[in-house]
Copies of this chain bind each other. A is one copy, B any other.
Amino acid sequence: MSAPNAERPGLSYRSAGVDIDAADDAKTRIGRLVESTRTAGCIGEFGAFGGMFRAPTGGRPILVGSADGVGTKIKVAIDAGRHDTVGHCLVNHCVNDILAQGATPLFFLDYVAFGALVPAVVEAVVAGVAAGCRENQCALIGGETAEMPGLYTPPDYDLAGFIVGTVQEGETLGAARVRDGDVLLALASSGLHTNGYSLARRIVQERLQLAVDQPFPGEGGATVADVLLRVHRSYLAAVRPVLGRVHALAHITGGGLPGNLNRALPATLDALVDTRTWEIPNAFRVLEEAGQVARDEMYRAFNMGVGMVVVADPADASSVLASAEAAGVPAWALGHVAPGTGQVRFISQ
């Protein structure tokens, strides 16, 4: 090995943009947050190679897994320097996805990747994840914090999450349970949730020409960041008490009502959505007008106020609506299921 050269100093991991001390600092900060999500199924301690959780027993349990991110909502968080909500969105999003199969959460793992790792930001992001885990009685059993110089441009970072829940075999929800004459019940979204942000950000920046700290039109003084960072709602509390009465659930994410409600339909039935049954919330109307976005495109890109659709027997509609109300989630009769070809049809008269 040749001697170090003064003009070409020896390289280190840190000189290449990776700060192991920062990673250790972040890990220390995360420990307390992870502990706050501990549930009865947890085994072992924080810091192992893999997180451990007791497998569900009794009956014929099925594990349901889902992976997701928060899309470019993360850019709003970064622009606003408000890092403690997107993790909560991520968990709630994943909870809703497995709830659509009838599953309730067991545990969660996260992946956060930075251009330059800032321990306080890692802590804020994981604080959001932990808040979501606590809300949904879901243990945060592990995760990865990566520093990837050259891939992410500081202060950018990305966040992905992975959930595992469980449902008994024979109790899975879905299209196979849906019947002609079933009702469609809408559960209100809390905002844009985690979809349509690339379009929303472009409209806000280019058409409305608003920065994240400026008031969003028609929102009573709430800023762009306030409106766009509203936490993706979890429907677990609203739906869990009546899961046995539900035929299918559609989580309204990318693709909107037409691209998600169809996933809850068999090939012989259509979903008829009556668009007169709710008022599209202000934020979507502002984006639609400012961006001159076609109405069809709005329904594909955004949830338009409907975060989850419950498909159930008409006799169970009032129970489902009451359960949602009890959980503080506005809910209403959105339409019904009729013979068709697996399509979502909008009706307005």
Contacts and interface: CB of A to CB of B under 8 A. Distances in A.
Contact of A196 (B13, B47, B60, B166): B13
Contact of A65 (B20, B109, B174, B301): B109
> Main secondary structure on chain A at its contact with chain B?
mixed
A98 interface: yes
A17 interface: yes
A236 to B, nearest CB: 13
B10 A291 contact: yes
Contacts of A113: 69, 158, 160
A315 interface: no
A237 interface: no
A169 B86 CA distance: 35
Contact of A107 (B1, B8, B65): B65
A203 B11 contact: yes
B144 A68 contact: yes
B251 A13 contact: no
A292 B8 contact: yes
Q: With a 10 A CB-CB cut-off, give which of A160, A255, A301 has the most chain B CB atoms.
A: A160
A35 B17 CA distance: 39
A1 B109 contact: no
A63 B50 CA distance: 9
Interface residues of A, number: 98
A87 interface: no
A149 B165 CA distance: 31
A125 to B, nearest CB: 14
Interface stretch (A71-79, A218-226, A227-235, A320-328): A71-79
Interface stretch (A51-59, A238-246, A331-339, A341-349): A51-59
A196 B5 CA distance: 22
Interface in A189-234: 196, 198-199, 201-203, 207
